[in-house]
Amino acid sequence: MNLNENQNRDQWGSKLGFILAAAGSAVGLGNLWKFPYTAGQNGGGAFVIVYFAMLLLVGFTLMLAELVIGRHTQLNAVGAYRKIKKNWAFVGGIGVLASYLILSVYSVIGGWVINYIVKALTGVFNTGDLNALNDVFGNFISNPTQPIIYQAIFVILTLGIVIGGISGGIEKYSKILMPGLFIMMLLIMIRSVTLPGAAEGIKYLLVPDFSKINGSVMLAALGQVFFSLSLGMGIIITYGSYLGKDTDLPQSAITIPLIDTGVALMAGLIVLPAVFAFGIDPTQGPGLIFVTLPAVFAQMPLGQLFAILFFVLVLFAALTSSISLLEASVSYVVDARNWSRKKATCILAAGVFLIGIPSSLSQGSLSHIKLFRGLNIFDTVDFFTSNVLLPLGGLLLCIFIGWVWGVDNALKEASNNGKISFKLAGFWSFVIKYIAPIAILVVFIQGLK
Ligand code: PHE
């Protein structure tokens, strides 16, 4: 895949290849790591139901909007906005900034995952003792050097793939590894939901307690929709730009979120039943999967093997997302500054590594630094990107399609000039013009109060 504006553009090898690559960007640490702990922190079922509402109103709508802009312009995010309306290029710019900052924290967690592969290989989890597992995790993330070394390894892996181009490697491997992840998750989920005491966790995740819904739960759910679907930063625009006219965009805009949400729910059904079965605090935050999952593996036949395979697959899911995050800024710099792909990738990757270091240290030696609302550096970057920059990018995207470019133009592209039937066209137009921007704005203001 070639992301340079000026050259002959590649297209996805097949429809399935595109869906899997887009799902590969969407499915990542957002589903496996962030969804379970964010649900845990925000009232479980209450969060999940608001998440679904946001997904229906905002997720599908914006997924289609980004695909449409991408295929129409056949350009990267900044170029695409600029081509349709010159002074809107800055929206693409917000996206590039957001993706860069997200990658800086993403790499920290990616590093943790790599370390957990090593731990699984050496049998560290075999004890199954919860206190021990808690200590293992706490000692690792608060160590001043270890997590940074692993974070560097994650950045280097991402860099290696992005330098080499994407289609031959990632697209090919996605086809094998994504289904592999799915099957593994199914098996682990069965173990988790049949643990004694698991029912409480299933209830916590699926039965909403409506009294827990408030502004910050809604903002967390909105931010999670954006983060998990890779929306609001032009990544889906870029992916859509490699599509041919025969692809059914409205259908893709439904399939990708469905896969993404399916994986997130499975992750929730792996983590939360185990959390309750082992008496862990569901609101504990980012460490949730790193403590509960090893405990589940210890209770499974062939647990060590499962642990190794599972963390390897998590790493792969994370890489198919991180490459799309790095690619956003690489393709921008290559176009705007005329740097070579290699130079751009190396310099940007080095930068993202350095920016990530304070986030990593905020789990240990810098944990006393609270930047905003009592959040440490890591959580502040996460909040500012997922819950501020991405919704902002999404809001501007709605205004752009609904009021600047016009829904009629967008619909022409979505239906390929009427050749593909799009039954929900009227509904989609209404949502993108009125409902989605108002919903984003209201949630945004409520959540920031
Ligand atoms: N959607 C990815 C995940 O859930 C993360 C991501 C966000 C990737 C934004 C690209 C853009 O892990």
* pLDDT one-digit tens code per residue, 319-376: 989 988 998 888 888 877 888 888 999 999 999 999 999 999 998 888 888 877 788 8
Calculate how far, in angstroms, residue 27's C-alpha sits from the geometric centre of ligand 1. 7
> Is the per-residue pLDDT at 266 higher than 60?
yes
Mean pLDDT calculated for residue range 191-198: 91
Question: What are the helix (H) ranges across 241-298?
Answer: 249-277, 288-298
Between 191 and 6, the higher pLDDT residue: 191
Q: Which of 9-18, 273-282, 317-326 has the lowest mean pLDDT?
A: 9-18
Contacts of 77 (CB under 8 A, 6+ apart): 92, 95, 96, 233, 234, 235, 237, 238, 328, 332
pLDDT digits (tens, 9 = 90+) for 373-391: 788 899 899 889 988 899 8
User: Tokens at residue 225, please?
Assistant: 């929709």
Burial class (CB in 10 A: 0-12, 13-18, 19+), 367: middle
Q: Is the dihedral of CA 294, 296, 300, 305 positive or negative?
A: negative
Calculate how far, in angstroms, residue 131's C-alpha sits from the geometric centre of ligand 1. 31
pLDDT band of 272, cuts 50, 70, 90: very high
- Give the pLDDT of residue 285: 84
Atom of ligand 1 nearest to the CA of 260: 4
pLDDT band of 178, cuts 50, 70, 90: confident
How wide is the angle at C-alpha 418 spanned by C-alphas 414 and 424, nearest 5°?
55
Whose Cα sits closest to atom 4 in ligand 1?
A: 30
Ligand 1 mutation pick, 109, 226, 227, 316, max ligand atoms within 8 A of CB: 227
* Phi, psi (rounded to 5 degrees) for 198: -70, -25
Whose Cα sits closest to atom 10 in ligand 1?
A: 230
Q: Which of 107-116, 266-275, 438-447 has the highest mean pLDDT?
A: 107-116
Atom of ligand 1 nearest to the CA of 33: 12
List, chain by chain if needed, residues with CB within 6 Å of any ligand 1 atom. Answer: 25-26, 28-31, 99, 102, 227-228, 230, 233, 235, 321, 324-325
- Give the pLDDT of residue 437: 94
> Is the per-residue pLDDT at 264 higher than 60?
yes
Between 42 and 13, the higher pLDDT residue: 42
Ligand 1 mutation pick, 38, 101, 230, 260, max ligand atoms within 8 A of CB: 230
